[in-house]
Amino acid sequence: MLIKFSFSNFKSIKEEQCIDLTASNYEKNLKDNLNTFEIPSLKEKSILKGIAIYGANASGKSNVLEAVGYMRNFVLSGMSDNKQDESIDIPFFKLDSKQQEKPTEFKVEFTIDNIRYKYEFSLNSKQVLYEKLSSFPKGVERVWFLRTWNETGYQWGPKSRYFKLKSYHKEVVDSRKNILFLSVSIELGDNQLKPVYEWFKNNLKVIPLSAGRGISEGFTA
């Protein structure tokens, strides 16, 4: 289930915007609209089953949904979709020329089998600049991998058993700067990361304008 989604420097959105489905404690009589969890990091919180985004025409509502779709599609795109050294097509904020030099960022928190995950990445038109996956099985962050770009190349951390098993995957993605480590690992048969990838593929769905059912557009998770 989706808990939180945030992004920045995308289409009409310059600064970071966040969709947070964590419910407040203000209303006590709408329990049917909430999900509760027996998860250490979520035990004291309830998560809304749905939200609505209101605003005037051309105020950016559709761009929020497009940001969700862009994040999902980039995770699901593989090595065949992103040719080596091919530029990344990003619809960054264009009303400020300085934004072209800044990364576009995506962050998402969700649950899989009663475990909370946080996945985030940033990129520009040339490459992925940052990528991190964490889980919180006992309420404490466990970093699965961390990939950061600097002048000399990608730096990886933390040093863990996971990386000892997946060093070949690192070598592949180090030479493919326009693709995510999560995507490459799945293509190379990584079953440990498969539940996270499958969440993006099967759980996170963007509903287009033509979907009908009285819904103009939206997404489910």
14 exposure class (CB count in 10 Å sphere: 0-12, 13-18, 19+): middle
Provide the sign of the torsion angle of the four alpha carbons 103, 115, 64, 30, taken in this order: negative
Average pLDDT over residues 88-103: 87
pLDDT above 70 (res 18)? yes
Given the DSSP bridges, would you call strands 46-48 and 34-36 parallel, antiparallel or unpaired? antiparallel
- The token pair at 95 is 């009303």
> Distances from the Cα of 27 to the Cαs of 30, 31, 67, 85, 133, in angstroms?
7, 9, 30, 52, 33
Q: What is the largest CA-CA distance in the chain?
A: 56
Start-to-end Cα distance in the chain: 5
State residue 215's pLDDT score: 45
> pLDDT digit string (tens) for 52-78?
777 777 667 788 889 999 999 999 998
State residue 162's pLDDT score: 66
Higher pLDDT, residue 17 or 27: 17
Query: Is residue 19 within 8 Å of 107, Cβ to Cβ?
Result: no
DSSP string, 99-145: GGGSPEEEEEEEEETTEEEEEEEEE-SS-EEEEEEEEETTSS-EEEE
Cβ count near 116 (within 10 Å): 21
Average pLDDT over residues 210-220: 52
Mean pLDDT of all residues in the chain?
A: 83
Domain coordinates in residue numbering, the chain: 2-220
> Distances from the Cα of 184 to the Cαs of 138, 176, 207, in angstroms?
28, 9, 27
pLDDT above 90 (res 84)? no
DSSP 153: E
Contacts by residues 51-55 (CB-CB < 8 Å, ≥ 24 positions apart): 51/19, 51/21, 53/19
- The token pair at 119 is 């996945």
State residue 159's pLDDT score: 67
* pTM, 2 dp: 0.86
> pLDDT digit string (tens) for 105-129?
999 999 998 899 999 999 999 999 9
> pLDDT digit string (tens) for 166-193?
677 788 888 889 999 999 989 988 888 9
- CA dist 50 and 33 (Å) reads 8
State residue 140's pLDDT score: 86
State residue 37's pLDDT score: 65
- CA dist 161 and 200 (Å) reads 25
